[in-house]
Chain A
Amino acid sequence: MVKYLSKEWAELAKKKVLTELDKARDLKNMNTSLLNVIQNVPPDNKTMYFYIKFIEGNLEELITGSDESIKQKDAEITATGDYTTFVQISSGQMSSAMALLKNRLKMTNKMKALTITKPIDTFNGCIKGIQTEY
């Protein structure tokens, strides 16, 4: 069991994606970078970041933390929401698209996001398998 958004969790997530997902079949050779801005993270309601970058379906980066340098990364899409929303997404209870419809996520560059709906959903489906302590 690892703590959600911890370095250990990020390592496991990266390993899981690299070993379990096929870059063409599952990740559709996507090129994108996505910054998740996770607000109100307990216990002290701080903001954390979860950044991922794919090139041709290869997971190039997967970083988590509260370091401002992550926020400065050049992300193509930014999704901002509450901790509880991201827990629901990462644990497979809700897709990010559904969170958007429920007004729980704010997202930039939605048109690009539309084109990667499926592979991102597959990505989330993969990391939900991590034994996580939320």
Chain B
Amino acid sequence: MKLSDVLETTKREPHCGLCKIDFLGTGVCAAGKKHGFVAYWPEGRMELARALAENEVEPTETLIDIVDSCNLCGVCDRQCYFITQRRPTQAQHALKDYVKTLKPNALKRVPEDDVVKDLRAIVGTDWATNDPIIIASYLRSIIKQKSSGKYYIVMPKTTDEIVAIVRLANKYKIPYLPRGNGTFFGVALQTLLAEPATIEQGIIIDLWRMKDLHVDPETITATIGPGVTSFELQKAAHAHKLRANVAEAESCVCANAQNLGIVTTWSNTYGWGTDNFIDAEYIDSTGTIQHLSDKDIPNPYASEQGLLSLSLIPSVIITKLTLKLHEILDDEEAVFIPFTTLPEALDLAHELAKRNIGISLAVLSRKYLTEFISPTHEIAEDFNYIAEKYLKLNYVVDVICDTQSKKIIEELAEVSFGHAMLKSLILGSSKLASMKDSSLLKMIAEEENPLKAVFGGPMREHFEKGLANSPQELAKVFPEDLRDFFEKLYSKPELTDPVWLHSFRILPCRMERKHMWMYRGGYMPGDKKTILKVVDALEKPAQMYHIDGEFGFLSYLERGKLAHLEYDYYYDHTDPEARKRVNKAIVESWRRQFAIKGVTPLEFICSKGLHRKEHILYPFLPGLSEEELEHFEELIETLFGGEDTW
């Protein structure tokens, strides 16, 4: 197998980083666990295969070690197929065949320079490198593609080592940038945000080794190092019947907390930003250790607002974070209330937020619902089609609550469904997809209220039974060699348990199965009028530049006074023309959002996650004037050049 044979797959590698966590109970890549550098993980092998195929890097002696360290055990195929329908072992086979074609003298030796010698003196020989082949595995997930800068990768284990690394960078006058699991970079680096989000040369501080994790059930807190992922923290918290408010499973909690303040459906009760933290230890640009709780530091929460507050690179490196955890109630249940229109869904969700109902509360799009719960993208597309055309199901108010709240919701909502129906939809999704354009669905569509007919009326039982919901049935959609594994996997109760899925968040990266996405949206006043204006401000640029734009989800803060909205632009990030169009749509969406009072686009929250929302979101800024918008356009031109250069 040639590298070019797998190029279509490796080019589309989204760098989600899920292969680094044991989210399916399969274990993780042994070579990755041993060596740490991204190059030794399935994600990095895919990137290496791409970079070699596209002649962006030349092989070095280390390539042999990387290739030989994979024993083709197939764990990564199970993990990756579950999420993105890709099979990293194909890239590994291609790499093994590729190295066989190399003459011994084709492999470059990489001499140590002074910087890497000094880095190795800090962290040990195995944990710092200037080897281009290892550096290439970080392309498109923290290093810009085709960057000509000189880079180093270092993997510290302790806070003191990071202090020494920062001081070393200052001594050599080179920039440095910490990397969690690279999930934010994986998305941002495909767009015009690549330049401001990265460094043009210098030291990449990969924090993967810093996995200290301690749950204190007495104070209901957890103290973690910067290498701990959301999944790992949640698992540790659940062992004590506690829950952490965390982002997607693969994201590193400290990086996510610092960067975006942790945006979740649980923010309805758990809050955002400093609502979630007790204390943080961090290292400033001089290499000094500080704590949020230090009495002598300047107000750490003071923050600028508006369009000049954009800063995509954090000014400090978090090395320890103490977070609040939350008790899990015995009677938590999921309730889903389906809607045809967004205003109807917003009315109910806002009513619930105002009444403080829903530990987790969100308005979810049809796109998210169908993509997350379907085992393949093709099934998701069929499910999406059926939901829109026949069921008239476009939005779901998605609630996790206690029994008492459930009763109130069921009184307020005309129709709802819960765990059992969701399980049927997950396990029966392939059957449902096969019913596309069936007479049963046509009959349902003719009902006055198809949603009521399916989820609340007498047809509910037929519909549920018709889905033939069994793990065995579902496993048929997977490649033959993976079927046994997926049948066992889907037999696990948590894989169809909405409360577990909301806590552990292992499904969102399924959004990346077909195309890359770019999140849009941000924070805004929680009233329906503003939210609909923002949706329009995000939808219009997508239409203007022929981008597939879709509402993602909306969650509330502070009993509905504030809302967070995610709207996504889906595009083929391997197509330069599509990237140009998405960049234009991003700029246009900023312009339109800034014209609306009180709206802060998500990028403008970046690097402010350790702040109080009160300092960032209040007071509601007036929308920018025409004159200010003109200056904004000049700023964009200065930053990114003219439209044709994006």
Contacts and interface: CB of A to CB of B under 8 A. Distances in A.
Do A and B interact? yes
Contacts of B607: 103
Contacts of B313: 101-103
Contacts of A115: 631
Interface stretch (A10-18, A48-56, A106-114): A106-114
A100 to B, nearest CB: 7
Interface string A30-49: 00000000001000000000
B74 interface: no
Contacts of A117: 631, 634-635, 638
A35 to B, nearest CB: 18
Which of B304, B310, B311, B312 has the most chain A CB within a 10 Å cutoff? B311
Contacts of A100: 308, 311
Nearest to B641: A95
Contacts of B545: none
Contacts of B314: 103
A121 interface: yes
Nearest to A109: B308
Given A84-B173, A102-B196, A114 B632 contact: yes
Interface residues of A, number: 22
B621 to A, nearest CB: 11
Given A115-B631, A117-B634, A95 B312 contact: no
B1 interface: no
Contacts of B311: 100-103
Contacts of B174: 84
Nearest to A106: B315
Which of A95, A97, A113 has the most chain B CB within a 10 Å cutoff? A97
Interface string B163-200: 00000001001110000000000000000000110011
B121 interface: no
B440 interface: no
B527 interface: no
B317 to A, nearest CB: 12
Interface string A82-113: 11100000000111011011111000001101
A114 B627 CA distance: 11
Nearest to B199: A102
A90 B165 CA distance: 27
Given A95-B638, A95-B639, A121-B638, A110 B173 contact: no
Contacts of B631: 114-115, 117
B634 A111 contact: no
Nearest to B314: A103
B637 interface: yes
A3 interface: no
A82 B170 CA distance: 10
B637 A98 contact: no
Interface string B109-147: 000000000000000000000000000000000000000
Contacts of A102: 196, 199, 311-313
A52 to B, nearest CB: 17
A98 B195 contact: yes
A114 B195 contact: no
Interface in A43-74: none
A25 B200 CA distance: 32
A7 interface: no
B308 A111 contact: yes
B639 A110 contact: no
Contacts of A94: 200
B195 A97 contact: no
B198 to A, nearest CB: 8
Contacts of B312: 101-102
A118 B632 CA distance: 10
Contacts of A93: 200
A34 to B, nearest CB: 15
A100 B310 CA distance: 8
A103 B196 CA distance: 9
B304 A101 contact: no
A64 B311 CA distance: 28
Interface in B275-320: 304, 307-308, 310-315
A110 B315 contact: no
A86 to B, nearest CB: 12
A97 B173 contact: no
Given A103-B311, A111-B308, A118 B173 contact: no
A94 B315 CA distance: 18
Contacts of B628: 114
A101 B310 contact: yes
16 contacts: A82-B173, A93-B200, A98-B195, A98-B639, A100-B311, A101-B311, A102-B199, A102-B311, A102-B312, A103-B313, A103-B315, A110-B308, A114-B628, A114-B631, A117-B638, A118-B637
Given A102-B313, A115-B631, 8 more contacts: A40-B170, A95-B638, A101-B313, A101-B639, A102-B196, A102-B199, A102-B312, A110-B308
Interface of B: 170, 173-175, 195-196, 199-200, 304, 307-308, 310-315, 607, 628, 631-632, 634-635, 637-639
Cβ-closest 4 pairs across A and B:
A101-B196, A110-B308, A103-B313, A118-B634
